[in-house]
Structure formats: structure tokens, C-alpha cells
Amino acid sequence: MITNLNTGISETGDPLLLTPGPLTTSLSVKEAMLHDWGSRDTGFLRINEEVLDRLPEIVNGVGSFVTVPMQGSGTFAVEAMLTTFVPASGKCLLLINGAYGHRAKKILEIAKRAVVVYETAEDTPPDVAEVEAILAGDGDITHVFAVHCETTSGILNPIAEIGRVVARQGRHLLIDSMSAFGALPLDVAETSCDAIAASSNKCIEGVPGLGFVLCREDALAKTQGNATTLVLDLYDQWRAFVQNGQYRFTPPIHVIVSFHQALKEFFEEGGQPGRGARYWANADVLIEGMRGLGFKTLLPGELQAPIIVTFHMPDESWFQFQTFYDRLKDLGYVIYPGKLTVAETFRIGCIGRLDQGHMRDALAVIAAVTADMRASALARAE
């Protein structure tokens, strides 16, 4: 029934991932993994050093920030950041408007750190005046944790404004910038913070397996002994690099070498402004096209980040999410279920090795699949 459409099947025979990461990577990023290296191989260590050296450029942190990599997914980096920077005597204000904020709270509770929560709905950013009032009223709060783009909904939180009030109140900001890093602007000269956590498999478009935390060097230097685990101790991991340029424990070598290739392609695209512009174009095409098909976005335009877009499930008898999902996947496009509490939704990502052409092709497939689903529902009703 559905013919003459460009399927999303890639050059390696895989469907395109319209998801928030892991995501579709370039062929050259995948090909970079076709070698073996020893973890002490000088060639590998040089590649690793280049990766660590270049990441602070993305947030204007050269000279003041160091990269501490952490084996594992992004959450390993977030847990390492929180447990290394917030000392046993500290207290952390968590700004929560989605699942990743809740995850940070769980991490700190397991680590037995004192927390205060300021939570807003999943479609509502924190009120910066309220953040300032909470800080002004509680002198015990040492740190503030914020999520840059809350991937749960795709909302863009006002990170620069949050940074300003945290600095004005003399506290320390820790940022989960996982799904925004490299795509959305973040300048540490303007947004004062102690650490930024991100990972290999989001907007830099590498494969999963490496988290990293960009740390203000003078703040990191004061964290010795804070960590609650051996593995996730950023201070210890950093000292090992300073001493011998090596990881304490086996690094995900293939991931790092392909991340090096992904970073090269990122800078060739114009760094954050270039990458961000492509994702904004993808998001604009997607949102306009989906609205044209009758779908409604959760967020108004001014709160929408160009990373992932949340759509309401149509509340109509022809629409069945699992069927929709399966049929899109068969035609080469993998979308993402919703994870909201405020509404029944699904999500479509704009990141990865995708451009406006891919988004238009995906929309043509979505149009065909929804038309077909409506027609079948009608035929069943007759």
C-alpha cells in the first residue's frame, strides 16, 4: 500500500534513529572502530589526549576547564559529577522538571547528601526569581544542579539565567548538559559553573560508552576525598591523567577513537553554531510538518529546544501508538515513546547524522502511515 517513499534505511542497512541518543552516526565514525589498540598504546593515548583537550573549546573553557572522562553512559558522568563535587558537608538544590532531575535526586540520596528540591511541571522551566529566593533563604545550600535540556520533554531550561543567580548568591552550579552539549550555546565565561556533564552519544554524534565531565580546574582541585565510590571519583581519575596520561581502569578504546572522529566532524561542521543550526533546521521542518498532519506539540515554540520534540498522542480511535511505531520502524524510522506524567505523548528526535531531507522523508512516511491507519480504522468500522 505504501510505495514510492524514501525509507530511512542507512548505508549499513539500519533504520535511522529519530531518538535522543544513541543516535545515527556517520559511516566514518563507525569505521573508526575497525582497529584494536592496547590501553597503553601511545597512539591511542595521543588520540585520547586530543579529545580531552578539545572538549573545553566547545564551552569557551580553554585554560580554566579540564575534561575528566568517565567510562560508561551519561548517567555515570552525572553520578561522578554530583558525588565528586558535593561534599558530605554540602547541600544541593535540585531544579527538577523531568526524569533526569529526578535521577540526580536519587543519586544524591543514595550518596546520603542533603538535598532541597524545587520542582516544576514537565512543561514548565524553573522560575529564576524563585531559585534566587530559595538560595537567599537557605545559607546551607552549597550547590545547585540544573538540567540544560530536559530530554524528558525536550524543554530548554534557562541555564544562563540560572547561572547568574547562582553566582550572585555565591553558590556552585553543576549542569547536566547531556542532550544539549555541542548543539546549544553554553559559555562558561558567562554562565559560571563548576562542572558540566555530557556524553559521547548525543550531540557530538559518537557511539555510546563514554561520559565526561568538564570541570573548572580550581574547583576540581578542592574535591579530594569527596567521592563515595572508587570508580566514579573524578578527582582520582583526573590525577591519573596528570600523572601518566592514562585511565585508571580499562577505557572503552573503540568508543574513544570513534568519538575522536566524531569530534573532528563536529568541528568541521562549524562547532556548536554549525551543529545547532542543523538541528534547529531539522526541528523546524519536523514541527511544521507534524502540525500540518494534525499533531500537536507539548511545548510552545519559546520553550522548545531543537533536540527532541514531544507530541501529544492523537486521542482518536484510529491511532494506536504501537502500530504507528512498528510501521515507521519497518519503513526505516525509529521514534521514541513518551515518558511524561502530564500527558500521553511520543517523541521524535532531531539529532544525529540527519538533515532536513531526512526529516522530510520521515514526514512523508508518517503522512502515509497515518493515512493508512485512518483508512483501515474506517474500513473496520464499516
Q: Could you tell me which of 171, 132, 126 has the C-alpha nearest to residue 147? A: 126
- Nearest approach in angstroms of CB 234 to ligand PLP is 16
Cβ-based neighbour number of residue 184 at 10 Å: 21
Smallest distance from the beta carbon of 202 to ligand PLP, in angstroms?
Answer: 6
CA separation for the pair 333, 352 (Å, rounded)? 13
Helix 356-381 × helix 321-330 angle, to 10°:
130
> 3-state DSSP helix/strand/coil percent for the chain, to nearest 5?
40, 15, 40
Shortest Cβ 256–ligand PLP spacing (Å): 16
Site map 162..201 versus ligand PLP, x via CB under 6 A = --------------x-xx-------------------x--
Question: Which 27-86 residues touch ligand PLP, going by CB under 6 A?
Answer: 73-75, 78
> Residue 101 or residue 332: which is nearer to ligand PLP going by CB?
101
Compute the residue count for the chain. Answer: 382
| Nearer to ligand PLP among residue 103 and residue 312 (C-beta) | 103
Residue type, 214: L
Cell of 34: 575497525
Nearest approach, Cβ of 336 to ligand PLP (angstroms)?
Answer: 11
| All three cell numbers of 209 | 560508552
Rounded Cα–Cα distance for residues 22 and 115 (Å) = 31
The owner of cell 543519586 is 107
If binding is defined by CB under 6 A, does position 261 make contact with ligand PLP?
Answer: no
The CB-nearest residue to ligand PLP is 74
**Within positions 87 to 126, which residues make up the interface with ligand PLP, using CB under 6 A?**
100
* Binding string, residues 122-161; x marks residues near ligand PLP by CB under 6 A: -------------------------x---x----------
Nearer to ligand PLP by Cβ, of 73 and 83: the residue is 73
The smaller minimum CB distance to ligand PLP, of residues 26 and 75, is found at: 75
Work out which of 8, 16, 20, 25 binds ligand PLP, going by CB under 6 A.
20
Extract the C-alpha cell encoding 141: 545550600
> Looking at residue 218, what DSSP letter applies?
H
DSSP symbols for 257-282: HHHHHHHHHHHHTTHHHHHHHHHHHH
Q: Figure out which of the listed residues 21, 56, 306, 349 binds ligand PLP, where binding follows CB under 6 A.
A: 21
CA distance 73 to 82: 15
**Shortest distance (Å) from residue 330 CB to ligand PLP:** 26
Query: Which residue, 178 or 285, is less far from ligand PLP as judged by CB?
Result: 178
Can you tell me which residue has the cell 562542572?
195
User: Virtual CA dihedral for 32, 36, 41, 45, nearest 10 degrees?
Assistant: 30
The C-alpha cell 559511516 sits at 27
8 Å CB contact between 325 and 335: yes
Closest separation in Å from C-beta 100 to ligand PLP? 4
Least distance (Å) from ligand PLP to the CB of residue 86? 17
Of 8 and 349, CB closest to ligand PLP: 349
Q: What is the largest CA-CA distance in the chain?
A: 75
Of residues 195-234, which lie at the interface with ligand PLP (CB under 6 A)? 199
Residues found near ligand PLP in the complex (CB under 6 A)? 20-21, 73-75, 78, 100, 147, 151, 176, 178-179, 199
